[in-house]
Amino acid sequence: MNARVQAEAQALGQRGEPADHAVVGKSVKRRDLLDKVTGNAVYVGDLKLPGMLYGKTLRSHVAHARIVRIDASRALALPGVKAVLTHENVPRVLHYGSPHPRSVSCTKDQYILDTRVRYWGEGVAAVAAVSEEIAEQALELIEVEYEPLPAVFDTDAALEPGAPPIHDVGPGGNLVLPPVRVQRGDVARGFAEADLIVEGEYRTGRPTPAYMEPNVCVAQWDGNGKLTMWSSTQTAFMVRGILAEVLGLPLNQVRVLVDHMGGGFGAKQDLFQHEFLCALLARHTRKPVKMEFTRKETFLGGRSRHPCRIWLKQGFKRDGTITARQAKLVYDSGAYGSHGPGVTTVGTTSLTSLYRCENVDLEGLCVYTNNPIAGAYRGYGVVQAYWALDLQIDEAAERLGLDPAALKLKNAVREGDVAPSGHPLVGHGLEDCIRRGMAEVGWGAARPAKRPPNGPLRYGWGLGCEMHGSSAYPGIKEQGNAIVKMNEDGSATLLTGAAGLGTGAHTALAQIVAEELGLRFEDVSVMHGDTDVVPWDIGAFASHTTFMVGRAAQIAAQQVKAQMLERAARRLEAPVAELRVRDGVVTVAGDPQRSVTVREVMQPARGIPSAHIVGHGSYTPTKSYSFAAHFVEVAVDTETGQIEVLQVVPVHEFGKVIHPVAASGQIEGGIQQGIGHTLTEDYVVDPKTGRSLNASFVDYKMPLAMDMPPIRTIMLESAPDPGGPYGAKGIGEDPIIAIGPAIANAVHDAIGVRFRAFPITPEKVLQALAEVNP
């Protein structure tokens, strides 16, 4: 990929000092790089413990039914089978699917195994056996008798009065939470003042994160009744908490471990059914048990994005001012609530912003259906909302005879505007992104000149914009924690509870500690992924690891540095204020001859008996937003209906780039997923039976490396956050949001058709073209 990375640093850092960083802002070699490229990195799936058994889940082939009889006796009789769990022999504890107190409206709606199934593919029993093969054979011997219940597979049907209730808990009417309402100003007055009203309905598909590492865990109990659980999870401490609650254990009797992960993208924030089953199978058999999803199960038992239906109406003045915005968003949560409350709240409130509007009236619903479970997925409700918003702004521009980039720039949120969180925004991030991208692609008073048609090919340009919070505040109050220890040889160790999903976050954290302590990057190591050792962490999500845990690490390192410099001051006989430290050497300002290495400072010396220096940092962020504008050129083949993205110029503003290559990797990965969502990816369930139709990588089409267009990434540091480390904000979720509307707007520019639902497949393109030119 020819990504050209341009970190356009402001000359001044956040404290107004010259930004003269030794480690931060440099693409140091990632700590996990060699282990990963050589295959040495140990993932949970690589674990093999002595005497380990293999667990498998029996999954329902009906979408909604009561289990009237379940008989495991034939399975138990199979040689090699050590245990079978059904609803009859697991604890009946109602729990959250998402261990997230993200919204007060969350309802506990899941049992480990219930007497009822609510979607096709839900686990109804589990087996532990000496091999995976025997476990799979045993599944076929479990007899289940179902009494079918009426099922609903779309949100309209689920909302109808008299629709079959999917849960006995919650607010009723198949709602996951009471409707989310956001009202500001007066929309009736706003529409009355409008010269143009645009109204439309938008839909989004059901993409799944399709992380490379299927869900996997290993559970082991020791003789004292302590559970150790290795699990590929973004939220080790939440897994610990909910396992302890459901199993009735104190927290120090549950230890959750996770080293390397092959992605999570939000979905691995949930506590999954197999994690409970694995712990219980291990307890029953007194043996370690591993449960690893197949790719098919990763679809069935995993989490997708919430398919969403959005009705959106906006009023505009002739000059492009937005006078009113009214919307109703209906998110399909599938069979359980999971992250529905958080996704619906974040998605609905996101429509208050991006493009300024004083009069808004928004309603967000999250609805139970008998579809697969939707959960957290990168972009968290906002992908859906901004798909509708950005497409409609583009349409309004056309109808007003204005250039879409000019209209977006005119209405772009700016410094001091109220953000979706209710906080005033810091800096002109969005305007900067739009302006910088326009300059880059030559978008002046109008779009860049189109390439002339070439045979069946038509070309076009589009722009999509987004903003996203670098934390989940105020939905949840998060806290980042870090412990930094100095070692007696002058090296340092960072202890963090933040998971490493594969983003390079631990490298960024080590850079921050090295920068702050004046050490080389190589002198800082990171200990993570063990809930018995590292400080508590809320989990790696919401684009917040570098921003929030990075700030905590910075604070911890500052404490260590202060103690270390005090010792150095005694050795050098100079006041602390005059000391500088860089590359592991402490010097006296203006007198470089007087120096001592950090290693020497940390050696036991007369009067300083111990090398023990520890710092502890905690940081509770308020809301901070990152911004992006994606500029896209597409080619549409009018004969095949194929859309090809020819080039992408993503311009992102996120305060401070800690590691340019890792950050641009995040951006490219988000664009890859976004192209997939928009053009090819959709997890399809049969609308009559709820049966999963394409649970494999053969039928679920993601763009591959070969399919990716050239991406010219531009990273701006124009609106640093006063709370983030060196001004840094989040970049994890942002890159997936703006690419979809950018592509759809470019397709309209190419062939004059507005697609309001994704994925925009070749069939839909051909159908639309046939309607235009019958």
Q: By C-beta, is 266 or 437 nearer to ligand SMO?
A: 266
Q: One symbol per residue from 492 to 531: x for binding ligand SMO (CB under 6 A), - otherwise; what is it?
A: ----------------------------------------
Q: Which of residues 700-759 bind ligand SMO (CB under 6 A)?
A: 733
CB-count burial class (<10 Å; 0-12, 13-18, 19+) for 705:
exposed
CB of 294 closer than 8 Å to CB of 303: no
Q: Which residues pair with 619 in a beta bridge?
A: 480
Q: How far is the CB of 391 from ligand SMO (least distance, A)?
A: 22
**What are the backbone dihedrals phi and psi of residue 517, each rounded to the nearest 5 degrees, phi first?**
-85, -10
Q: By C-beta, is 375 or 518 nearer to ligand SMO?
A: 375
Q: By C-beta, is 290 or 378 nearer to ligand SMO?
A: 378
The three-state secondary structure class of 616 is: strand
Q: In whole angstroms, how far apart are CA 721 and each of 237, 349, 542, 547? A: 27, 21, 16, 9
CB of 437 closer than 8 Å to CB of 714: yes
**Residue 412 to residue 320: CA distance in whole angstroms:** 12
Q: By C-beta, is 478 or 717 nearer to ligand SMO?
A: 478
Q: By C-beta, is 153 or 627 nearer to ligand SMO?
A: 627
Q: Which of residues 131-170 bind ligand SMO (CB under 6 A)?
A: none
Q: Which residues pair with 56 in a beta bridge?
A: 127
DSSP state of 44: G
Q: By C-beta, is 613 or 737 nearer to ligand SMO?
A: 737
Binding residue count for ligand SMO, defined by CB under 6 A: 9
**Residue 521 to residue 583: CA distance in whole angstroms:** 9
**Residue 503 to residue 666: CA distance in whole angstroms:** 7
The three-state secondary structure class of 491 is: coil
Q: Decide if residue 542 touches ligand SMO (CB under 6 A).
A: yes
Q: How far is the CB of 107 from ligand SMO (least distance, A)?
A: 19
**Residue 623 to residue 476: CA distance in whole angstroms:** 11
CB of 267 closer than 8 Å to CB of 211: yes
**Residue 692 to residue 27: CA distance in whole angstroms:** 42
Q: Which of residues 415-434 bind ligand SMO (CB under 6 A)?
A: none
Give the β-pairing of 492-496 and 524-528.
parallel
From 207, 266, 420, 518, residue interacting with ligand SMO (rule: CB under 6 A): 266
CB of 192 closer than 8 Å to CB of 185: no
Four-point Cα dihedral 132, 134, 138, 140, nearest 10 = 80
Q: How far is the CB of 741 from ligand SMO (least distance, A)?
A: 19
Q: By C-beta, is 380 or 700 nearer to ligand SMO?
A: 380
**Residue 268 to residue 271: CA distance in whole angstroms:** 8
Q: Which residues pair with 200 in a beta bridge?
A: 312
Q: By C-beta, is 27 or 234 nearer to ligand SMO?
A: 234
Fill in the amino acid letter for 281: L
Q: Chain centroid to CA 544: how far?
A: 10
Beta carbons within 8 Å of 223's beta carbon, 6+ residues apart: none
Q: How far is the CB of 308 from ligand SMO (least distance, A)?
A: 15
Q: Which of residues 319-378 bind ligand SMO (CB under 6 A)?
A: 376-378
Q: In whole angstroms, how far apart are CA 320 and each of 183, 397, 466? A: 22, 8, 19
Q: By C-beta, is 103 or 587 nearer to ligand SMO?
A: 103
Q: How far is the CB of 270 from ligand SMO (least distance, A)?
A: 10
Q: Which of residues 367-386 bind ligand SMO (CB under 6 A)?
A: 376-378, 380
SS3 for 148-207 is ECCCCCCHHHHHCCCCCCCCCCCCECCECCCCEEEEECCHHHHHHCCCEEEEEEEEECCC
Q: How far is the CB of 673 from ligand SMO (least distance, A)?
A: 12
**Residue 234 to residue 264: CA distance in whole angstroms:** 7
Q: By C-beta, is 346 or 711 nearer to ligand SMO?
A: 346
Q: How far is the CB of 24 from ligand SMO (least distance, A)?
A: 24
Q: How far is the CB of 501 from ligand SMO (least distance, A)?
A: 8
Q: Which residue is nearest to ligand SMO (CB)?
A: 266
Q: How far is the CB of 298 from ligand SMO (least distance, A)?
A: 17
Q: How far is the CB of 499 from ligand SMO (least distance, A)?
A: 10
**Residue 407 to residue 404: CA distance in whole angstroms:** 5
Q: Decide if residue 269 touches ligand SMO (CB under 6 A).
A: yes
Q: By C-beta, is 269 or 680 nearer to ligand SMO?
A: 269
Q: By C-beta, is 151 or 509 nearer to ligand SMO?
A: 509
Please give the order of strands across the beta sheet that includes 492-496: 524-528, 492-496, 480-486, 613-619
Q: In whole angstroms, how far apart are CA 743 and each of 1, 204, 306, 732? A: 19, 14, 20, 20
Q: Decide if residue 677 touches ligand SMO (CB under 6 A).
A: no
Q: How far is the CB of 542 from ligand SMO (least distance, A)?
A: 4
Q: How far is the CB of 739 from ligand SMO (least distance, A)?
A: 16
Query: What are the tokens at 548?
Result: 């929030």
Q: By C-beta, is 270 or 432 nearer to ligand SMO?
A: 270
Q: How far is the CB of 381 from ligand SMO (least distance, A)?
A: 9
CB of 7 closer than 8 Å to CB of 26: no
Q: How far is the CB of 275 from ligand SMO (least distance, A)?
A: 17
The three-state secondary structure class of 344 is: helix
Fill in the amino acid letter for 738: A
Q: By C-beta, is 492 or 728 nearer to ligand SMO?
A: 728
Q: How far is the CB of 103 from ligand SMO (least distance, A)?
A: 13
Q: By C-beta, is 272 or 380 nearer to ligand SMO?
A: 380
Residues near ligand SMO (CB under 6 A): 266, 269, 376-378, 380, 541-542, 733
